[in-house]
């Protein structure tokens, strides 16, 4: 196998590259590639750090959002519970009793004032006039 040669730019002579002549070229090329590799490693490390910071920020935002949702849910539950306490009960309506004069009385929603107010136009079947027909 022939030894590698380079051509002089000025005199155009071919110079054989021996180990002693090629060693500085090989070393400079090796340093150049090592620098490039080190730079790429630093770039990758910077990107990874940036990604970790973004993940941390997203995690904090997620936790904050979950806390806000939990607080809002507690507020809504408290509001619903307060509304339930203030809502009129249907417990005061008469209950069916088999002992009164041998007939059962029916408890209907039409006895409630809200139902009476609504039944005037939209629900004629719950009006007090036709209650016996049900």
Q: What is the pLDDT of residues 109-125, one digit of tens each?
A: 555 555 555 555 554 55
Q: Confirm whether 28 is domain-assigned.
A: yes
Domain match, 71 and 28 both: yes
Structure tokens at 123: 């629900």
Q: Confirm whether 52 is domain-assigned.
A: yes
Domains of the chain: total: 2
Per-residue pLDDT of 80-99, as tens digits, reads: 988 888 877 765 555 555 45
Domain match, 28 and 71 both: yes
List beta partners, residue 5.
16
List beta partners, residue 15.
6
Residue indicated by tokens 């150049």: 32
Q: Confirm whether 43 is domain-assigned.
A: yes
Q: What is the three-class DSSP state of 7? A: strand
**Does 90 or 35 have the greater pLDDT score?**
35
Residue numbers of the domain that contains 126: 106-134
Q: What pTM was estimated for this model as a whole? A: 0.42
Domain match, 24 and 83 both: yes
Q: Confirm whether 99 is domain-assigned.
A: no
């Amino acid at each position: 196998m022939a030894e590698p040669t380079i051509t002089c730019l000025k005199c155009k002579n071919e110079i054989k590259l021996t180990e002693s002549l090629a060693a500085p070229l090989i070393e400079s090329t090796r340093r150049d590639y090592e620098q490039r590799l080190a730079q790429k490693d630093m770039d990758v490390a910077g990107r990874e750090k940036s990604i970790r910071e973004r993940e941390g920020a997203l995690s904090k935002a997620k936790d904050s959002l979950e806390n806000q949702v939990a607080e809002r849910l507690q507020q809504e539950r408290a509001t619903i519970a307060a509304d339930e306490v203030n809502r009129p009960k249907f417990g005061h309506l008469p209950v069916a009793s088999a002992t009164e004069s041998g007939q059962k009385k029916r408890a209907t929603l039409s006895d409630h004032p809200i139902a009476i107010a609504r039944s005037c136009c939209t629900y004629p079947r719950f009006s007090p006039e036709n209650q016996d027909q049900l």
